[in-house]
Amino acid sequence: MSDRGEIAALLLADVKDGVPAESNRDALGLALALSFPRELIRVAVLAEDALSSARKCSEMLGADVLSVSGEGLSPYSGPAFLAALTDMAERLTPRFMILPHSSLGMDLAPALAARLSAACVTGVSRVEDAGLGPVLARVSADGGREEIIRPLSALTVLTALPGSFPVEAPEKPGAVSEIARPVLPPAGVRFLGCEEGPAADLALAAADVIVCAGRGVGSPENLALVEELAGLFPRSAVAGSRPVCDAGWLPANRQVGVTGATVAPRLYIACGVSGAFQHLAGMSGAKTIVAVNRDPSAPIFSAAHVGVAEDLVTFIPLLIDALKK
């Protein structure tokens, strides 16, 4: 519970083109896992004209929403968001601020924490209640270990690992309050435009089972094996490591890792993936990881729950036959 202001957790909503992202449920789930009732949670929607998105967020989350409209808040601008959130943190004195686990959150969370002298824990995958205040678990940057952290600061800035904190649909929407906040465009920065990059494939976020092709698949032809294996599971998707996507064997929006998607499916089958930390950082939140690699010393085996040290061209057809039976 909060020993600071009336608000225990302030969430920054993730909204794209006026539509709240599914990841907002992860942030709410984390706030609830911190044992805060919905009455002590506020969701901030920041945009030039935030009201309609704020209403959608209140319906999606069933939490009270602060609609913060101001010049300079659309499109996203790091300095403008930083100024607005710093101001809100000082007025509302929350104990936790939960930002989206996205490129926006990666940009803003460390800067906000530094500005507010707060702790910053990104990619939280679990909350342990150790009696002396929340203890948080996150996957380490090299993906192979779980770090257990007790924040000691008055305020902690967090992001939630996608898929780690499922929440039920709310029974009713929360209240929406409007705050007008003139934000001056930051000095020394001129916004020139925004170009769409390859969006992360929605199939990856929704999949229960992901079969990932690493460079060890050897050729685009062998991808057929990976695709056939994935096709045997309902709600499945095929992903790739960076070399596979860079080579054009799979589209860029199928890449998993620090410069690709972060996923947390129930089952992740890594085929011919070495387990570089840049890859592990995107998939270590999977509930069960199976690795198929012909090199028994490959780092992926330290992250895997089940390891198969075998040539994938030999093993995957056997697995497919077994699953078909």
Ligand X SMILES: Cc1cc2nc3c(=O)[nH]c(=O)nc-3n(C[C@H](O)[C@H](O)[C@H](O)COP(=O)(O)OP(=O)(O)OC[C@H]3O[C@@H](n4cnc5c(N)ncnc54)[C@H](O)[C@@H]3O)c2cc1C
Catalog residues that contact ligand X under the rule CB under 6 A. Answer: 214-216, 218, 241-244, 255-260, 272-274, 276, 278-279, 282, 292-295, 298, 311-313
Q: State in angstroms the smallest separation of the CB of 30 from ligand X.
A: 23
Nearer Cβ to ligand X (73/298): 298
Nearer Cβ to ligand X (68/273): 273
Q: State in angstroms the smallest separation of the CB of 100 from ligand X.
A: 18
Nearer Cβ to ligand X (86/302): 302
Nearer Cβ to ligand X (28/273): 273
Nearer Cβ to ligand X (154/313): 313
Nearer Cβ to ligand X (158/261): 261
Q: State in angstroms the smallest separation of the CB of 270 from ligand X.
A: 8
Q: Are 294 and 216 in contact (CB under 8 A)?
A: yes
Q: State in angstroms the smallest separation of the CB of 255 from ligand X.
A: 6
Q: State in angstroms the smallest separation of the CB of 38 from ligand X.
A: 35
Q: State in angstroms the smallest separation of the CB of 289 from ligand X.
A: 14
Nearer Cβ to ligand X (40/238): 238
Q: State in angstroms the smallest separation of the CB of 109 from ligand X.
A: 19
Token pair 């010393």 is at which residue?
297
Determine the Cα–Cα distance for residues 14 and 9; give it in Å rounded to an integer: 15
